[in-house]
Structure 1
Amino acid sequence: MPNGRLALRLAATIRHDGAGGVADDLADPAGLAAWLVEHRDLLPDGVDAASVPTDEQARAAVVALRAATRSLLARCVPAPSRADAHRLLPVAEAVERVNAAAALAPVAPVLAWPDDGPPAVRSRSIEPDAVSGLTAALARSAIDFLTGPDRERLRACTAPRCVRYFLQSHGRQEFCKPSCSNRARAARHYQRRHATDTTS
């Protein structure tokens, strides 16, 4: 999975709860801890999920970056979810937040010169602490996604009250998952039935 997809996984921590509301998988530090464990294999080298303190400060940093990421994803789709519109940051603020987080883990050139070969340069991340390393990795994932080819396939689910973004796998796909398709069909049926009942 390309690194940019991690940004979609972060954005998906805000989702429809199945009962008409919105759930936040990162509502508390325990949620952040569970998310890190679930996604540890997707984190880039140098970011160890086990070393990130899952306290309120770390959760707040990740949630702030998520808000910026979701706002920028919303700008990439024809129409963001109406259920999500009130959460979106102004684009300039979202861009600044992502760039600031990405800069928390600067990259330095490192000269390598083996005895049996020519000199070469490698890159080394300089991470001041685990939380900064995590937020920088998540921000860089957002940048990778927003500047990569998958951005063209990004869509906002059109199901009622859904706030998920997904990568469209075929031209007519409107929903992030089958349950959203079923919910949309049920809502259309209810509206038709209600319109018929009120005109009788």
Structure 2
Amino acid sequence: MTQQQPVTGQCLALDLVNSAYIVGGTRGRLVDSIGSPELLQDWCAQRVDQLAPAGQPGKLGDEDLNRVRELRAAIRGALEAVVNDHLVGPDDVQTLSDNVALAHRRVVLTSDLTIRYEWSEPDFGTRASMLIAEDAISLLAERAAGVHACEAPGCIMYFIPTTERRCWCSTTCGNRARVARHQRRMDNGD
């Protein structure tokens, strides 16, 4: 049985970072929703609209999985630096840049006014990595100040809040944080 990823749909880069998450709070366990080439294939299939420029998903292998996990670690490291008001580490910047350089695409307008992409790289996994890295660079360059780390105990998720006061990635984390705050008050006799 696969666990439903808690926070998705804000952008490819955040979806990838949040594909590793904790179930059960501070005593929980780490879930990696792209823990195998097959799970990565499912993850890509769920984002077929966002990955459409990469073409029809092909079979993904261990090399694709390793590249995407390295990309995820770089995006997570960059976001961690940003939310803590630090500079993004040079290794994370290099990984993002290297992934963007993996494939080049040319946008072609057809005579029936539809868009077609021509790629320098025939492999779907490589093209998908390039699109995710491109999205991460866009997120970091244009919207980084809007990204927040969830404040719930034990949560490792990042999100873009839909309201100014939102500080948790989900209602589950909000409930966990309120319960923890209530428990601290009870322990302190407040």
Relative to the length of structure 1, the TM-score reads: 0.76
Task: Please report how far the alpha carbon of residue 55 of structure 1 lies from its aligned counterpart in structure 2 after TM superposition.
Answer: 2.2
The corresponding residue for 1:5 is 11
Structure 1 pair 109–18 and aligned structure 2 pair: CA distance change class (3 A): closer
Work out the CA distance in 2 between the residues paired with 1:58 and 1:194.
48
Amino acid at match of 2:96: V
Residues 126-185 of structure 1, C-alpha deviation per residue, up to 9 Å, x if partnerless?
11422211211111111121122x322110000001011110222211101111000001
Work out the CA distance in 2 between the residues paired with 1:101 and 1:129.
13
Task: Please report how far the alpha carbon of residue 109 of structure 1 lies from its aligned counterpart in structure 2 after TM superposition.
Answer: 8.8
Work out the CA distance in 2 between the residues paired with 1:184 and 1:21.
17
Q: Does 1:135 align with 2:105?
A: no
Matches within 5 A, 1:95-134: 95-107=93-105, 124-134=118-128
Amino acid at match of 1:173: R
Is the 8 Å Cα contact of residues 54 and 128 (structure 2) preserved in structure 1?
no
Aligned residues: 174
Unaligned runs of at least 5 residues, structure 2: 1-9
The alignment partner of 1:161 has SS state of coil
The corresponding residue for 1:85 is none
160, 164, 167: which is aligned to 1:174?
167
Give the number of the structure whose alpha-carbon radius of gyration is greater: 1
The alignment partner of 2:34 has SS state of coil
Relative to the length of structure 2, the TM-score reads: 0.80
Amino acid at match of 1:170: T
Matches within 5 A, 1:52-63: 53-63=59-69
Work out the CA distance in 1 between the residues paired with 2:89 and 2:72.
13
The corresponding residue for 2:91 is 93
Work out the CA distance in 1 between the residues paired with 2:19 and 2:29.
14
Residues 13-52 of structure 1, C-alpha deviation per residue, up to 9 Å, x if partnerless?
0112135232111122222122111111111413322x1x
Task: Please report how far the alpha carbon of residue 108 of structure 1 lies from its aligned counterpart in structure 2 after TM superposition.
Answer: 5.9
The corresponding residue for 1:15 is 21
Work out the CA distance in 2 between the residues paired with 1:66 and 1:60.
10
Q: Does 1:183 align with 2:183?
A: no
Amino acid at match of 1:104: L
Amino acid at match of 2:37: P
141, 145, 151: which is aligned to 2:144?
151
Is the 8 Å Cα contact of residues 54 and 124 (structure 2) preserved in structure 1?
no
Task: Please report how far the alpha carbon of residue 194 of structure 1 lies from its aligned counterpart in structure 2 after TM superposition.
Answer: 2.1
Work out the CA distance in 2 between the residues paired with 1:55 and 1:170.
39
Amino acid at match of 1:26: I
Is the 8 Å Cα contact of residues 102 and 135 (structure 1) preserved in structure 2?
yes
Work out the CA distance in 1 between the residues paired with 2:176 and 2:85.
19
